[in-house]
Structure 1
Amino acid sequence: MKFVVYRRNDFNYKVGVSTVRNGLKWMTFLTSAGMFLVLLGGALVTKTKAGRGCGSDWPLCNGKFVPAYTLESMIEYNHRVVTGIVGILVVVTVVLVWSRLKKQTDAKLYAAGILFFTLLQAALGAMAVMWQQSSAVLALHFGISLLAFSSTLLLAVTVWRLERKPKTEADPDPAVGQAIRISKGFRNLIWLITVYTYIVVYLGAFVRHTFSSGGCTGWPLCNGQWIPELTGATGIVFMHRVAAAVLLLAIIWMAFLANSRYQGHKETQSLAFIILALALLQVMSGAWVSYTIGNEEVFIFSSLLHTVVISGLFGILSYASVRFWELHRLQK
């Protein structure tokens, strides 16, 4: 077996190229895709109010392995089946990473994160079925699922980057790339935006689980007002809208800094552009959600699109947080 020596921040990594190529890369991508389906399935369960489709039984559905063919029971049961299959993929992926990439600390850390968040979201899901939970706790379930998805995405990207060979021994590690001075302030700004995005996501999940989407009709005004009465469902939705607006402004500022301070560094500018594009798309999808509240079939589709975009945004922000941390450490 041939080995390629990679350098990253004063550490030497010996990675067996044939080992990395031996199905591990595709396993991580498959796990990431599966976790994304779990996210969508959970959002669909909430939007269709199918969470009680299997009664209070878990892991059975109304006391059966195969439930009755009602819409609610099939949606809930299919979500459980997909989650179970993805759980198996997670276990296999974690075992492969820890056994084949023993010296790859970041990959092992992401794998551990996947396992932890997957078990936690499964436990929260089971408790939500067997015992009534508050909307605040149910909203946390989506947030944990998002962390599990981001961990799988980071692991998939890490394994993919390991497979890229430097052109010569003198070339920089492709996992680090072009050396550039990323300031501590810009790095911290990305971290702050990522954490704040998670808060906005939680507020959005809280809107779903309290079924408050109808609290604000119209967009960008809420019930025809810039500042509506801040009570009940209206207050919940308006709080989410304000938080999302602040997030968009922060991302616009970040993109401006990336374009003005790091001209010529394509990776930094590309990441900033993708993050900004997803943030704008998220705002537009949120507006579409508001306009389709009265049409149940379209409303479910627009809500799922809203979930898809925010999941992609948070995943890219998570990667950017790690990437800019790496680039900042190049200064030392």
Structure 2
Amino acid sequence: MIRKKVLNVNKTTSNKLNSLIKPTAFVNMIFMFLVLLMGALVTKTESGRGCGDDWPLCNGKFVPAYTIESMIEYSHRFVAGLAGMLMLAVFVLVFLTNARKEVKWYASGGLFFTILQAILGAMAVVWPQSSPVLALHFGFSLLAFSLTLLLALAYTKSGSSSQKTVMSSGLRMGIWLTTLYCYGVVYLGAFVRHTKSSGGCLGWPLCNGQVIPELSGETGIVFAHRLAAIGMLILVILLLATVSKTYKRTDSVYKWSQWSLIFVVLQILSGALVTYTMGYDSYLLASLLHTLLVSCLFGMLSYLTVLAIRAKQTEVAGVRAAERS
């Protein structure tokens, strides 16, 4: 009798915890997305030194003096802190409810990169870092966001690991290559921001009125980013063309590949918008839109890699079943 009551209590507690995970995971994903956008805002407004070299305080105070730079920087820290606490809460909930193995990987990875980007952010304040290191800060924040996105999707119907996908090894490799390449493009874009090289190419699609400009300094950095973006477009077009030969339009692999192409086109157009709005008030908004779109694009490609991993697991399971029979 006592054992039955204990089991009922445990079951009730488990159900309550399970009901908390999904909404908490989605809220956490939204906050991590805000951290990305606010980090880009800090960079674009040059507010990184808005709190001096103090961390976690701002110019030695818990509540900073009202200046635009200090408020932007401190707001970013505040939202990042909330995102960190939410990530920790989700991590605990996932392991308390004995979630699927892949979900535990998302939670663990999300927590790791959240802590890592926070440490890098603190180090950038206390000890000024080089542009390559500062660009890594955005890259790690993007990984943290992508993992929280995958974690949230894991608690939706489409994100269920019960889905079985068959995929060729060539397509799996193509998905991984495209995702890793996208991360490289993102890093290069962050490097453009942190080196303040956006003005290196005036005009679009030409750079300073030339098809191939002088490849040095700020111009060389921006032009390399543009070439990388074109390469990204080509890769995603090839990916969708390959997927369309095998999958129906209703399949998840096709849908996510199609949306990836839409967002890579929007990403390139937003890059043109950034160029055209330089010197205008709308430049900041265009830059944030550019960041928003590339974050969504990388999130979509990350989910495609999950589908590729599941397809590999399905293939391995099928081979082992054939061997046993």
TM-score, structure 2 length as denominator?
0.90
Q: Does 1:131 align with 2:127?
A: yes
1:202 is matched by which residue type in structure 2?
Y
List aligned pairs for 1:119-268, cutoff 5 A.
119-161=115-157, 175-177=161-163, 179-263=164-248, 266-268=251-253
Give the distance between the partners of 2:166 and 2:19, measured in 1 at CA: 36
Distance verdict in 2 for CA 1:239–1:69, change over 3 Å: same
Identity among equivalent positions (%) equals 53
- Output the aligned Cα RMSD: 1.8
2:323 aligns with: none
1:285 aligns with: 270
List aligned pairs for 1:37-186, cutoff 5 A.
37-102=34-99, 104-161=100-157, 175-177=161-163, 179-186=164-171
Give the distance between the partners of 2:94 and 2:166, measured in 1 at CA: 32
Runs of at least 5 residues in structure 1 that lack an aligned partner in the other structure: 2-15, 165-173
CA displacement 1:109-157 (0-9 Å, x = unmatched): 1111011101100100000000111000000000000000011011111
2:32 aligns with: 35
Give the distance between the partners of 1:310 and 1:32, measured in 2 at CA: 16
2:284 aligns with: 300
The size of the alignment, in residue pairs, is 305
Q: Does 1:309 align with 2:306?
A: no
Q: Secondary structure at the match of 1:230?
A: coil
Distance verdict in 2 for CA 1:282–1:17, change over 3 Å: farther
CA displacement 1:261-300 (0-9 Å, x = unmatched): 32365222211111110111101101101111121x2110
1:326 aligns with: 310
**1:58–1:130 contact (8 Å) kept in structure 2:** yes
Q: Secondary structure at the match of 1:160?
A: coil
CA displacement 1:242-269 (0-9 Å, x = unmatched): 0111011010111111112323652222
- Structure that is richer in helix per residue: 2
Distance verdict in 2 for CA 1:83–1:157, change over 3 Å: same
Runs of at least 5 residues in structure 2 that lack an aligned partner in the other structure: 5-12, 319-325
Distance verdict in 2 for CA 1:180–1:24, change over 3 Å: closer
Give the distance between the partners of 1:264 and 1:226, measured in 2 at CA: 37
